[in-house]
């Protein structure tokens, strides 16, 4: 009779640099009732370790952890497949090890090193040899380390394997779920073997890793899915190139979305379609759910891992700060979120009412600090220098900078991190004030266009996301979503006084930033030539501001961070 091999998937949350903590997490599985346990890429060091891997002390600590864990498998129990940076003969490799029977049963170095977008592994690691199938306990396995799956040549080299392991630390971005499956099905077809895809679940600075591990049979059919944005595990029975899910580990239970009383259930648990989302298309409810959960996880991880007691938000009565506050409450709990309204003479009564009502609905602390007297004092000091000039942007930005000063003072005094609230549309065209509304330690909306902010706000007012620490109610007054956006730095000011309507602006920006299209090609799509050229110039001129902005979670394909690095000074645009 053929012996069934039990293979366990662990979708865990390692922490970058916390080698002892990660090692303790892995040790907890040594006595598990499984033959092999699979963990995500570089789970001992955390991913991405960036320049930590260049430190000799870090390399030594990773080596010691691997060898220590290997020795502990001598007592029997499960074999562990773990990853760590590995220094050898003056080179550093992104390595994965199969630890069993007191030693290293198999060691493999990542062959395809990504060097695009957020990845710069080619600068840090040396490439390993093209992988080949390996033997373990009378079975033939193949191993793909993250980018190896996406390389067209690597999976073919594993033909002849009975089962392929794909070990990943794959960051979330819109529609990535569908693309992973497409690539995994192609790899399964190339190898002719079932494939187990394991991904990590954590937030790390501007990246969020969404989990969503899955299993394909040799025909490319999905037989198991672990949840997105939740730690998860599963056990599979393997024999003679056949995989079956062990009954006590069922298929994913759905997204876990809950709707507030009276809200319409719109089947958000359905996975996104396997088609690339066009730059001008609206997002599906399922993808809006993923985006919102990505922002929650990223913020929670950033606050917790950097030991902030909570966050501080300037609540203006507008949609950006309202959505940021909702995400913060859902991620951290209302007791850890403090909101502050900082009104001036230009703040409307509607905004005062909406900010107070928003804080009430979210259940978080709300304070008011008027800035009129401070603005008057600054204006008086500048009067000799501004006399005879027409009031304009300089006077308006005094308000924004005073708000930043006051929020940072509260942050310094009580330790809470200021959460800035600017969206990607504003960051793109420079409609954000340095040392003003750009003050902060993190920004969950940094990679979210204004039109998507509206979509997310409407979605959140109809649904409570999984694992949310917020209440079962709408997150903000409906008027926050429906009223025309305004910075309220002068009387009767509206964003559209100097910008195209946001749906138009954002489509131009998506073509230029994500699509990398030339202005003339955008104009050829029917957009106003003067508007396109003006927007492109604004994007170019605001590069210096973006360099000084706080980190924020990656949502799309080209956020303003490591994915898009343009010189501040250049004559091309």
Other Cβ atoms within 10 Å of 451 Cβ, number: 23
**Catalytic position from the list 110, 416, 446, 450:** 110
Say how far apart CA 552 and CA 419 lie, in whole Å: 10
φ and ψ at residue 212, rounded to 5 degrees = 70, 30
CA angle 201/203/204 to nearest 5° reads: 125
202 is catalytic: no
**Catalytic position from the list 10, 41, 396, 507:** 41
413 is catalytic: no
- Locate all alpha helices (DSSP H) within 143-284, ordered by sequence: 147-150, 176-191
Say how far apart CA 415 and CA 309 lie, in whole Å: 7
Q: What end-to-end distance do the CA atoms of the chain give, in Å?
A: 70
Say how far apart CA 397 and CA 545 lie, in whole Å: 14
Name residue 519's beta-bridge partners.
Answer: none
3-state secondary structure of 519: helix
Residues 6 or more apart whose CB falls under 8 angstroms from that of 517 comprise 511
Residues 6 or more apart whose CB falls under 8 angstroms from that of 132 comprise 157, 158
φ and ψ at residue 558, rounded to 5 degrees = -140, 70
Residues 6 or more apart whose CB falls under 8 angstroms from that of 76 comprise none
91 is catalytic: no
Nearest to 440 by CA among 464, 462, 422, 466: 422
**Catalytic position from the list 43, 146, 358, 439:** 146
Residues 6 or more apart whose CB falls under 8 angstroms from that of 253 comprise 227
> HSE on the CB side for 183, CA within 13 Å?
20
Q: What is the DSSP string of 50-101?
A: GGGGG-HHHHHHHHHHHHHHHHHGGG-S-EEEEEEEEEETTEEEEEEEEEET
Q: Identify the burial level of 116 via C-beta atoms within 10 angstroms of its C-beta, where 0-12 means exposed, 13-18 middle and 19 or more buried.
A: exposed
- Locate all alpha helices (DSSP H) within 163-235, ordered by sequence: 176-191
Which residues are part of the catalytic machinery?
A: 41, 110, 146
């Amino acid at each position: 009779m053929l012996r069934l091999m039990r293979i366990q998937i662990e979708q865990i949350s390692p922490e970058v640099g916390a080698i002892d903590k990660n090692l303790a997490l892995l040790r907890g599985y040594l006595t598990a009732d499984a033959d092999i346990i699979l963990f995500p890429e570089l789970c001992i060091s955390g991913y991405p370790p960036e320049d930590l891997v260049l430190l000799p002390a870090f390399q030594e600590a990773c080596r010691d952890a691997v060898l220590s864990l290997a020795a502990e498998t001598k007592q029997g129990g499960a074999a562990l497949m773990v990853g760590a940076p590995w220094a050898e003969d003056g080179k550093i490799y992104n390595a994965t090890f199969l630890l069993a029977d007191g030693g290293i049963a198999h060691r493999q170095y990542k062959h395809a090193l990504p060097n695009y977008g957020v990845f710069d592994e080619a600068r840090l690691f040396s490439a390993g040899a093209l992988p080949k199938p390996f033997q373990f306990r009378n079975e033939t396995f193949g191993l793909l380390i993250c980018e190896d799956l996406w390389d067209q040549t690597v999976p073919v080299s594993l033909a002849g394997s009975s089962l392929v392991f794909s070990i990943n630390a794959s960051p979330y971005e819109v529609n990535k779920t569908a693309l992973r499956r497409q690539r995994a099905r192609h790899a399964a077809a190339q190898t002719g073997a079932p494939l187990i895809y394991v991904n990590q679940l954590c937030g790390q600075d501007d990246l969020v890793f969404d989990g969503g591990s899955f299993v394909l049979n040799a025909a490319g059919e999905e037989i198991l899915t672990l949840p997105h944005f939740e730690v998860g595990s599963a056990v599979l029975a393997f024999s003679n190139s056949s995989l079956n899910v062990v009954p006590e580990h069922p298929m994913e239970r759905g997204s876990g979305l809950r709707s507030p009383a009276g809200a319409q259930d719109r089947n958000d648990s359905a996975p996104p379609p396997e088609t690339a989302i066009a730059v001008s298309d609206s997002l599906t409810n399922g993808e809006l759910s993923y985006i919102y959960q990505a922002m929650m996880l990223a913020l929670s991880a950033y606050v917790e891992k950097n030991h902030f007691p909570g966050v501080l938000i300037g609540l203006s009565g507008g949609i950006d700060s309202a959505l940021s506050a909702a995400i913060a409450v859902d991620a951290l709990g209302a007791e850890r979120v403090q909101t502050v309204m900082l009104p001036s003479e230009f703040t409307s009564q509607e905004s005062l009412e909406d900010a107070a009502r928003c804080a009430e609905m979210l259940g978080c602390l709300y304070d008011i600090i008027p800035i009129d007297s401070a603005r008057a004092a600054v204006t008086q000091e500048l009067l000799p220098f501004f006399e005879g000039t027409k009031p304009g942007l300089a006077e308006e930005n005094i308000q924004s900078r005073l708000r930043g000063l006051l929020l940072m003072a509260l942050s310094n005094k009580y330790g809470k991190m200021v959460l800035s609230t600017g969206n990607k549309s504003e960051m793109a065209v420079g409609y954000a004030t340095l040392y003003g509304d750009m003050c902060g330690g993190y920004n969950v909306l940094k990679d979210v266009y204004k039109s998507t902010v509206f979509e997310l706000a409407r979605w959140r007012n109809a649904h409570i996301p999984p694992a949310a620490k917020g209440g079962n109610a709408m997150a903000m007054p409906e008027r926050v979503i429906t009223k025309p956006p305004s910075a309220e730095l002068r009387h009767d000011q509206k964003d559209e006084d100097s910008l195209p309507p946001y749906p138009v602006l954002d489509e131009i920006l998506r073509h230029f930033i994500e699509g990398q299209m030339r202005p003339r090609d955008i104009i050829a799509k029917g957009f106003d030539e003067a508007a396109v050229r003006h927007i492109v110039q604004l994007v170019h001129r605001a590069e210096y501001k973006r360099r000084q902005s706080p980190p924020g979670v990656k949502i799309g394909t080209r956020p303003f961070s490591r994915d898009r690095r343009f010189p501040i000074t250049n004559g091309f645009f």
